[in-house]
Amino acid sequence: MDIKEENKDEKKDPKSNNNDYSKLLVIAGPILVLFGVTKLIFFYLFFNIEIIKFLDFSEIITSFFNVVVLGIFFLLVLVSLFSPFLTQRV
């Protein structure tokens, strides 16, 4: 196998990368809804309240929002801490 052929195999189509992200977003939405419902059920179960009767769909999604914001903040902090190591040339 020639070196040029190996490089062709390693290169990916940029459109396929976008397709991977769109698949991830399709899966992430229902997972966030499931986590939001689970969080609310367990929290209100502690107080012996059946919260499902009183919730709208928009409240379920936003109930998990604070955890998502904390996760994004945590990732940004990690990236900012390790970015000098990632950009160093060996």
Which carries the bigger pLDDT value, residue 1 or residue 83? Answer: 83
48: left (phi over 0), alpha (psi -120 to 50) or beta: left
pTM of the full structure: 0.52
With b meaning 16 or more CB within 10 Å and e meaning fewer, what string describes 16-31?
Answer: eeeeeeeeeeeeeeee
* pLDDT at 47 (0 to 100): 92
- Rounded CA gap, 40 and 33, in Å? 11
pLDDT tens digits for 33-87?
A: 788 788 888 888 999 988 888 888 778 778 777 777 888 899 899 888 887 777 7
- Residue 51 neighbours by CB under 8 Å, 6+ apart: 40, 41, 43, 44
